[in-house]
Structure 1
Amino acid sequence: MSVAVVRRDGPVLVRAYGVRCVETSISADADTAFGIGSCSKAFTSALAAVLVDAGAIDWDDPIRKYLPSFELYDPWISDHVTLRDLLANRTGLSRASAGEYGSDLSRAEILFNARHIQPVAGFRDQFTYSNIGYAAAAEAMALSVGHPFDRILNDYLLTPLGLRPGNMSRADDNVAAPHYQIEGKVRAVPAMFVDNLLGAIGQTMSAREAATWLRFHLAEGKSSAVGSSRQIKETHLLQTARRDQTLNDGYGLGWHVRNRRIQHDGSIRGFRANIWCDLAGGLAIFVATNLGSGFAHFAVTNRIIQLMRGETVTDWITHFDEVLRKEFIDRVTSFNEEKRKEPVSTSRWSQEEFVGTYRHEGFGLLHIEPKDNHLWFRIDGLSGFDGPLMRFSSLGFEYQGERDAMALARMAFASPPQGDRARLRFQSDGHTIQGLTWDDWFGSARFVRS
């Protein structure tokens, strides 16, 4: 675990705990880099602030000014979407995890496929989280300057701040290995390939680097080697309000914003991270773990906040365990309700009728194949994402593989469905099976039977 706690006038704690990798038992230190997942988005928005200040781009320029080939589902939105829209997550694009990262697709293919992904909300209507928008913004910035994104990030932001080049492909050997708990034991797994989504994910950071990064934001660009105070402040301002919250709560540019506090968490294979800054109170915290499960990054952040404020400390581990327990109960309850309402025993559909190839223009071909006495799922372009499908209702199946089956290095065995795994649902016209949806991994996308 890597931790940095910073006041406006300097660091309070800069330290790492535990080991870089369980297989070597080499201790982590304050310079050990950890994957930070979507906390990378704040680097992208800060780079945009620097380029706006330099006159290379403008927040409200249409993205096609720099990336003419970029298209979204709606042609009018494609013509009018701006850099600000993409960084504020207000394009209406949904999060479709399986189609965004961990895939074998190139960056160009991911951006091309955005035109086939239907929006889940109106343009500039509300906050909808999307990694593809950040990848597009990063590519537009790269084209505006004439160099690859990772180079301009280093030249315009990281190097002036005294930070090392920091994506997951860094050659530095002081990098934590990603881990998962597999069959009751913590094991190291291969790092995820992230080059196809740089700008959205992929950065790494050590506790010492985090201390510098946190002070940069607490100062809001004042006396900084990069950017103007005004443009850095712009990234901290609310751009998109949440529909179910007050106007003080929503998303800025690379940050979740609530009053004068900014925060972002991130997850990537084998890592979890959280960054929290109280801009008014002058306190900022970074916590990263190289274990890709659990809520330690949130629990430690919240504990430090309470300690620094002199408040009674909550048992955050128990709190988050209860959150997980409730989510599990809710998921199993809906599973059992569907089983009761649409029992397999009275279904008109035989298992063989689901076998076939299903297509989505943005995510490619999804194959449902027979295997032993159950079905098997695989999808082109997502190696390692395959496994058994176990039927639990007339049109519902539970996926019993792992999202990162190759990374987890485990075999997927079919077992009676229990309701705690990812689920997909087929659709019919009453005569034949027409398609399927899989909200857990593909958002609102519908795969149509070929």
Structure 2
Amino acid sequence: MKSFPFPRFASVLLFSLLVPFFAFAQTAEDFRTAAQEALTAFGVPGFSVGIIKDGKVVMAEGFGTRTAGKTEKVDGNTLFAIASNTKAFVASSIVKLHLEGQLDLDAPVRDYLPYFQVYDEYVSSHMMVRDLLCHRAGLGTFSGDVIWYKSALSAEQVIRQVMYLPQAYEWRSGYGYSNLMFITAGEVIRAVTGKSWDEYVRENFLQPLEMNRTQTSVTPLAELDNVATPHLSRHDNQPIPYVNWDNMGAAGGIISSAADMLKWLELQMAHGQWQGKTVFPEGLTATTWRPHNPLAGGTSFTSAGLGWFLRMREGHRLVNHGGGYDGMYSQVMMAPDDNLGVVVLTNSMTGLSGALANYIVNSYLGIATEGWLTDAVKQQERGNQAWDERHQERLNARVMNTSPSLPMASYAGEYFDPMYGKIEVKQQGETLELNFLTAPKLNATLSHWHYDTWLINWKETHAWFDFGTVQFELDNNRKVTGLGFDVPNDDIFFHEIKAEKQ
């Protein structure tokens, strides 16, 4: 779902450049040793690693177990959610259709989806298909993900709610990572071809590449073997169920293996050729790997391409993307001019995938890797500490021995936000229930926190957030007017919900 360089997927490592005569690991056995060390250092259940160099598979292997506390081993064919690494498949689909003359990258989105609407009418009518794929639509990073998350809304219904999101920066003059725009791109594919994004990807990429284990939904996983289990890393690797992402599948719905993903990387680096056949037209990667939207910050060139991120590292061109799913992180990285591709798929929510992928790539490119694992673990610890501090700040702010301003029945009722939809607060005996009518998997009970703020006790465990409160907003006459959420996390923004009491 999410991508570098943001907290969910970020693994920004500091590599020393001062070590002369460094011995660079470049053999499968060296990388196996590094992978085993990472497995122990991060304390994760398992992961798989794929490496392809000069058109030959160096390794497609697993480390650790599919599920914490069980014995089934991960191997190169174990399935993991690749999340936002799906975006490269969707961007490649759009560009393939463009090169074949079936759509125009520079045509307005409304040529294909007349209902498309964002924060401004001029932007809505001039937003090009190309804009959807490079995070320059004017929406903030992860803004609106709360609309689709665990929701029963269809992809089209999600897109129709985008118009209520605020503008975060000038259109085409900034960067904001947007899953919603890739959901929109998926519906453009449907409008042009009459096929869903996943049908198109399967017919045009997965089948020609013989990516036979790769899935485009979690639904078939119950009938398949050799499937990794998602885990909550911050809760001692607690296994959690797969979450259905079908309504945002074009932004992050693919489930694949290291072995299958290496076929995808081989195709990319061969510019559309695979085992003697043409899978996509020449010129596709020249478009998807072209810088479209520069990212601010950092000391080296970094840009969003179409479905990829692009950067230079000590004279080497890198093409990469991260992925974050409930309980699983992944990293795909290519150095195409060096004919090198790496994929790391994990069943944990840690920085391991980015750290190990960077280590392998730097090893091949002759870039010093001393301290790579120590640095990565320290960064993970800093992230964990920041998470804990954010929650502790709220615990410290709690005022004990207060009472609600109003009788409990006064808080009950229906609340509505045009961006999100209906939320219901019901009184059940001596407690209140919080019901998200479009996303019942988010339902919770409420217990008094302080004043007119209540603690959200989720009925299900969630990967991206746990602690949260909701405040009942009152007007000057002590009448409940709305809800204000505080659910601290980096990905699903409940504070964007501004629900007014009906």
Shorter-chain TM-score category? 0.7 to 0.9
Q: How does 1:18-417 map to 2 (within 5 A)?
A: 18-21=64-67, 25-94=71-140, 95=142, 96-164=144-212, 166-168=215-217, 169-170=219-220, 173-181=224-232, 186=237, 188-221=239-272, 225-244=278-297, 248-259=301-312, 260-291=317-348, 293-308=349-364, 309=366, 311-314=369-372, 315-316=374-375, 318-332=377-391, 334-335=393-394, 338-339=397-398, 343=399, 349-350=405-406, 352=408, 354-370=411-427, 375-390=432-447, 392=449, 394=451, 396-401=453-458, 404=461
Deviation of residue 93 (structure 1)? Answer: 3.1
Which of 419, 435, 445 pairs up with 2:482?
435
| Closer, same or farther: CA 356–246 of 1 in aligned 2, 3 Å | farther
Range with bigger deviation, 369-378 or 95-104:
369-378
| Unpaired stretches in structure 1, ≥5 consecutive residues | 409-418
CA distance in 2 between counterparts of 1:338 and 1:220 reads 56
Q: How many percent of aligned residue pairs carry the same amino acid?
A: 22
SS in 2 for 1:167: coil
Deviation of residue 36 (structure 1)? Answer: 0.9
Tell me what 1:415 maps to. none
Q: Are 1:328 and 1:420, in contact at CA under 8 Å, matched by a contact in 2? A: no
Deviation of residue 249 (structure 1)? Answer: 2.5
2:60 is aligned with 1:4? no
Q: Are 1:37 and 1:266, in contact at CA under 8 Å, matched by a contact in 2? A: yes
CA distance in 1 between counterparts of 2:73 and 2:241 reads 19
CA distance in 2 between counterparts of 1:357 and 1:37 reads 34
Letter in 2 for 1:327: A
CA distance in 1 between counterparts of 2:58 and 2:250 reads 30
Deviation of residue 331 (structure 1)? Answer: 0.9
Deviation of residue 12 (structure 1)? Answer: 2.1
SS in 2 for 1:14: strand
TM-score (norm 1): 0.83
TM-score (norm 2): 0.75
Deviation of residue 23 (structure 1)? Answer: 8.6
Q: Are 1:221 and 1:233, in contact at CA under 8 Å, matched by a contact in 2? A: no
Q: Are 2:65 and 2:71, in contact at CA under 8 Å, matched by a contact in 1? A: yes
CA distance in 2 between counterparts of 1:160 and 1:383 reads 39
Q: Are 2:413 and 2:426, in contact at CA under 8 Å, matched by a contact in 1? A: yes
CA distance in 2 between counterparts of 1:85 and 1:250 reads 14
2:500 is aligned with 1:448? yes
Q: Are 1:177 and 1:191, in contact at CA under 8 Å, matched by a contact in 2? A: no
Q: Are 1:3 and 1:207, in contact at CA under 8 Å, matched by a contact in 2? A: yes
Letter in 2 for 1:301: A
Letter in 2 for 1:203: I
| Closer, same or farther: CA 436–258 of 1 in aligned 2, 3 Å | farther
Letter in 2 for 1:85: D
CA offset digits 1:70-113 (Å, max 9, x no partner): 33343332222221111112222342333223212223322232
Deviation of residue 375 (structure 1)? Answer: 4.5
Deviation of residue 266 (structure 1)? Answer: 1.6
Q: Are 2:434 and 2:445, in contact at CA under 8 Å, matched by a contact in 1? A: yes
SS in 2 for 1:153: helix
| Closer, same or farther: CA 358–8 of 1 in aligned 2, 3 Å | farther
CA distance in 2 between counterparts of 1:351 and 1:248 reads 58
| Closer, same or farther: CA 24–334 of 1 in aligned 2, 3 Å | closer
Count of residue pairs brought into register by the alignment: 435
Range with bigger deviation, 151-160 or 440-449:
440-449
| Closer, same or farther: CA 39–426 of 1 in aligned 2, 3 Å | farther
State the superposition RMSD in angstroms. 3.4
SS in 1 for 2:250: coil
Letter in 2 for 1:318: V
SS in 2 for 1:199: helix
Letter in 2 for 1:167: T
CA distance in 2 between counterparts of 1:436 and 1:332 reads 20
| Unpaired stretches in structure 2, ≥5 consecutive residues | 1-46
Range with bigger deviation, 131-140 or 159-168:
159-168
Q: Are 2:481 and 2:500, in contact at CA under 8 Å, matched by a contact in 1? A: yes
SS in 1 for 2:107: coil
SS in 2 for 1:365: strand
Range with bigger deviation, 198-207 or 323-332:
323-332
Tell me what 2:13 maps to. none
Letter in 1 for 2:498: R
Deviation of residue 41 (structure 1)? Answer: 0.8
| Closer, same or farther: CA 304–439 of 1 in aligned 2, 3 Å | farther
